[in-house]
Structure formats: structure tokens, C-alpha cells
Chain A
Amino acid sequence: MNTCLLILLVLALLLIFCLIYKLKHINEQISFIKDVLADMKAGNLNRRILVQENDRTKQICYDINQIAINSQSQLIHQKQSEQAYKRLMTSLSHDVKTPLASLVGYLEAVESQLVTGKEKDEYIHVAHEKAQYLKHFVEHLFEWVKLDSGEQVFHFEVSDLNEITRNIMADWILVLENSHFEYEIDIPEEEYPVRMDSNAYTRVINNLLQNVMVHSGGSKIILRIAKEQQRVKVIIADNGKGIASDKLPHIFERLYQCDHSRSAKGNGLGLAITRELVNAHKGTITVNSALDRGTEFVISFPKAL
């Protein structure tokens, strides 16, 4: 009888110690969670609660972490677009100021009759070109802002990519021949159905071809369409001067231009717009290039079922 009681007593004591130990562990954990939460509340959304595999608070802690991760990424996203906007504004002011200042210079010279006759005509011609550049720049800019803010409305429908591309290229052939560009076009006969906005797609192809003509310095354009499992690829390649590897990762950034020249030709928005348009189609655009080896743009769209 006595031994029985004793055993019971020992067992009860053991149980109590065990519980006290457990309680202490849980208390420690709760105080740790409290610390981390205080830190998160103060704005440190990178803080995480680390838990062991068999902690009872595991799910709660994972959920708290997830909330912190989500708010953090939202916050960062916001900050990024704010910064991008600021950058855009500063570069913009330069991009408008430079051609505008030059335009004013030419017109002032004409206005104050510094130049006459043939020279005057030439000045007016240059001024007109600069005004055109500015007009295009502002148009592009509006297009970009519309895309970036998600205000652009697309009309997607399943169409035959090959047919649409053929139509686009029909318009280009004359242009290419007039500027003495060789071309090689390889569009398959069968239908490749893709869900697309044909206007936006036309913009994409036009932008890329324009890009080759203005910037590549090459003499040949290749356009090829190929099927690849669930995707359709449009490849536009040239035999021009290529793009240096350190510049390659940046070419789709808005207002990025390989040369510093802000007064010449392009405006650094074309490829940024192109990428946004391709993204809207759930497609991807990549570029392969090396100096003096030409450039190859590959657009890939998911095939419509």
C-alpha cells in the first residue's frame, strides 16, 4: 500500500516537473515572440520568428511571418514605383530640355535674322526635325505612362499569329527595300493560334524592326517564327554592330540608351514599351547579342488552346 502511494507521489512529482519545464519553454517562446512582434510593430518587417519543427506555436509563427513578408513586399513595391517615378521625372526633364534648348537656338537665329537664304532654310529644316523628335518623344512617353499605370485597355482575341505577322511584314517590305535592307522572312504556312491584341502585337513588331533599322547599323533583317511545345517564338535578328554584354541587361529599362547621346535618334522608350506590351500578352522578350555579331530579339507567346 505504502509503496503504491510512494510510486504515485513520485509519478505526480515527475509530471509536475515535466509540466513546469514545458511551461517554462512556452513562456520563453512567448517572450521571444513578444520581442519580435514589438520589433515588427516598430516597422522592422524583415524580422522573423524562427520556430522548431515540433513547437506548438509553429503555425501561428509561420502565419505571422507570412503577414510580415507580404506587407514588406507591398511596401517595397510602393517604394520602388515611387523611386522609378522620381528617376523618370529627372531624366525626363533632361530629355525634353536638350532638344527644346536646341530647337529654341535655331529658331532664335532665324527670328533675329542672323541667317539668310539657303542657310535660313536649313535652320528651319533642322528646327522642324527637332520639333518632330520632341513630338514623338512626348507621344511615346504618354504611351509608356499609360502602360505602366495599367490604364491601357487591350482587346485580346485568339488569332493566327502567322497571318497577322505576314500582314505586318507586307507593309514593311517596301520600307526595307527603300532603305536597302536585305531581309529574310520565314513564317510557317500552318496556323499558330495565340491570344493577342493585334494592335499591340503590331506595335511590338514595328518597334523591333524600327529599332533594327535605326540602331543596329546592319544591312540585313531576319524574321522567323517557330513553334516550341506550348509556345510560339518570334525571332527578329540583324547582322549589325551588336550590344556590349555590360549594356545588354539594361536595354529594356526605360530611358536607357547605349550611347549617351540624348540628342540623336531614339528616345530610350521604345524597348521599354515593347517589353510592357509583350508582358501584357503573358509573353517574354529576351535578347542575345555580342559586339560585332548582330543582335537577336526573341519574343515568346503562350499558344492558345
Chain B
Amino acid sequence: MNDTVIKTKRLTKKYGTQTVVNKVGLHVQKGRIYGLLGRNGAGKTTIMKMILGLTPITSGSAEVFGREIGGNAKRIYSRIGAIIETPGFYPNLTGTENLEIFARLRGTAFPNAVKNALEVVGLPYKDKKTFAHYSLGMKQRLGIANAILHDPELLILDEPTNGLDPIGIAEVREFIKALSVEHGKTILISSHILSEISVLADDIGIIDQGVLLEESSMRELEKRNGKYILLQVSDIPKTILILERSFHVKDYSVQDEQTVRIYDTTLNMGEVNKALVMEEITVIRSGICNDTLEDYFKKITGGEGIA
């Protein structure tokens, strides 16, 4: 079975002479959360709309479950749940009634689908409040409930935490994570907030002015993230003795037979190297890693940063 759920090739969107999405090649893997990170107007929503076939593709292609959506729409839509911008609900009906209509249209995967979806997002079942009286946060939650109503394999969520208060954001994050970790769903999520993507995503795509600057796994990125000194030496016990006795280093961890990480980056490495060499310890490598994710994104977006 193919493990890439969404694959785009040189996906491009032009409005007149303006190119809003430029040759984007996304790869969303099965069972993972893919975070699309970029500032407002970077082209995130347009990419999602093209993947879903909601707006025509100028050139290139977008495949979902190994097929292009044009022509296969009906069969593919039943496997996707999406929120793109504000979803259309009937303002004079309650949340439950709205979802019951969608459940009838789309079909359901198990009994009590509406009740279940509302429970997941923390909205009351059979509440008397009509959609028109919902707060922004409740509307957003109902949108997510609608997206998971038919228990789809793939979720496409465009800025799902927009308009939520901090507690709401944490809750939504939690259940998006749970959908992936506990239910194995594949999720494509967009955001302009770095911290949000970095806690949620397994893979990350950074988009700036319509161009996908980087696509990489979070684990790979985290390797470049952190503040520590890496010291590779011939004798670890001796080195640690010197670090503890002469330099009062307490915060360190031994990585393998030759490498130790020191978390105090203010340490004077010149002095340390000298002391080690005096004790006839060979220093194979010593380097400082001082990048945070934020710094890294600034670098690749040309100094402007993301959020």
C-alpha cells in the first residue's frame, strides 16, 4: 500500500500575472501530522483548496490517496474531513441539527455519529442554542466536529485554532494530537504560529510567498535545535572529572563512548580544551550548538521570520 496520502507535483496557482503558489511539492505521509507553516498570505489556504479541488489548479498536479481529485471527487471526499475558512452552517438551526443534516448527506460510519463528534470537540448534544448565537470559538469547534463526523482517514485543517481562547487552543491541540496518535489519522494542518506547529507536527513544510522553502521531519529539525556544547574526547570519565572538579559543570549528559553534551553554553571552551590536553586527553571535536527553531526559520526565510 502506498504510504503517501497527499502528493503534489509542481503545484502552481496564478491569478493573472501574480503567482500565489509556485511549484509546490508536498508529501503528506500516512498516520502523521503535517504542519504547513507560513505567514498570512503565504499561500497555505490556496494549496489546501487546490488539493481538495475547490479551486482550479493552474499547472502541476495534486494527488490524494494516489488519485487526482477531479472525477473521483465523490469517492475521495467521503474519506476526507476538512475545514477551510468558515464552514457553512444554517444560522437558524442548532449545532446538533446542523450536524444531523451533514450526517444524512454524507452517511455515517457508526451509530450516534453526531453525538460522538460533538463530544470530541466539547460541545453539548441537543443544545437549544442556534448557530447564529454561537461564539467564534464554538463555531470553530462545530466546524471541527463536522470535519470528523464521518470518521475520515484524512483531515485537512486550515488554521483550526483561529478565534479560540488559550484554553480552547490547548484543548483543540490535544484532540488533534489524539486523532493522530490514538486513531492513526493523517492530518494536514496549517498555521502561522511556529510554537503550535512545533508541538503538533511530525513533519513540517515551510512556505513563504508561495514557495515551499523546506520540507522536513520535526525530529530532523529538532537536532538543529537546542543550546549545548558537544564535546568528543578520547576518555569520557577523565573528561567528566575535569569538568566537575575544575569547571564546576553539573548539567551534562553522556551520549556515547566518546561524546558528552554540556548544557551550560557559557563555559569557556578554550580553557576546557587546554585543561583536557594537559591531562593527555585527545579532543576529537568540540562545538557549540546554539540555534533555536526560531533562529533557524529566520535564516531560511531570509531574516524575516515566520510568526
Contacts and interface: CB of A to CB of B under 8 A. Distances in A.
B254 A101 contact: yes
Contacts of B250: 261, 263-264
Interface string A35-54: 00000001111111111110
A43 B106 contact: no
Interface in B100-116: 104, 106-111
Main secondary structure of the interface of B (DSSP, over half): loop
Interface string A246-259: 00000000000001
B153 A44 contact: yes
Contacts of A65: 109-110, 151
Interface of B: 1, 78-79, 104, 106-111, 150-153, 181-186, 228, 236-241, 244, 250-256, 260, 263
Contact of A94 (B109, B244, B254): B254
Contacts of A260: 228, 251, 253, 263
A183 to B, nearest CB: 29
A156 B192 CA distance: 51
6 contacts: A42-B1, A47-B153, A52-B104, A103-B237, A106-B241, A108-B241
A51 B254 contact: no
Contacts of A47: 79, 153
A261 B263 CA distance: 8
Interface string A17-60: 00000000000000000000000001111111111110100000
Contacts of A263: 250-253
B151 A48 contact: yes
Nearest to A95: B253
B104 A105 contact: no
Contacts of B107: 50-52, 55
A62 B183 CA distance: 17
Contact of B237 (A42, A45, A104): A104
B241 A105 contact: yes
A105 B240 contact: yes
A125 B261 CA distance: 25
Nearest to B105: A52
A247 to B, nearest CB: 12
A100 B240 CA distance: 10
Interface in A52-99: 52-53, 55, 61-62, 65-66, 69, 72-73, 75-76, 80, 94, 97-98
A262 interface: yes
Contacts of B240: 101-102, 105
Contacts of B237: 101-105, 108
Nearest to A79: B184
A94 B184 contact: no
Contact of B181 (A61, A75, A80, A94): A80
A262 B241 contact: no
B153 A51 contact: no
B111 A72 contact: no
A43 B151 CA distance: 17
Interface string A266-296: 0000000000000000000000000000000
A185 interface: no
Contacts of B109: 48-51, 61-62, 65
A109 interface: yes
Contacts of B111: 62
Given A108-B237, A260-B263, 17 more contacts: A46-B153, A48-B152, A50-B150, A61-B109, A65-B109, A69-B110, A72-B183, A73-B183, A76-B181, A76-B182, A94-B253, A94-B255, A101-B236, A101-B254, A103-B237, A261-B250, A261-B251
A62 B252 CA distance: 54
A260 B110 CA distance: 46
Contacts of A101: 236-237, 240, 254, 260
A45 B31 CA distance: 11
Contacts of B110: 62, 65-66, 69
Nearest to A108: B237
Contacts of A105: 236-241, 244
Contact of B184 (A62, A72, A108): A72
Nearest to A52: B107
B78 A76 contact: no
Contact of A262 (B106, B150, B252): B252
A262 B184 contact: no
B184 A46 contact: yes
B251 A45 contact: no
A259 B107 CA distance: 50
B3 to A, nearest CB: 10
A109 B240 CA distance: 11
A50 B183 contact: no
Contact of A73 (B108, B182, B263): B182
Nearest to A44: B1
Candidate in B151, B183, B254, B260 with the most chain A CB atoms within 10 angstroms: B254
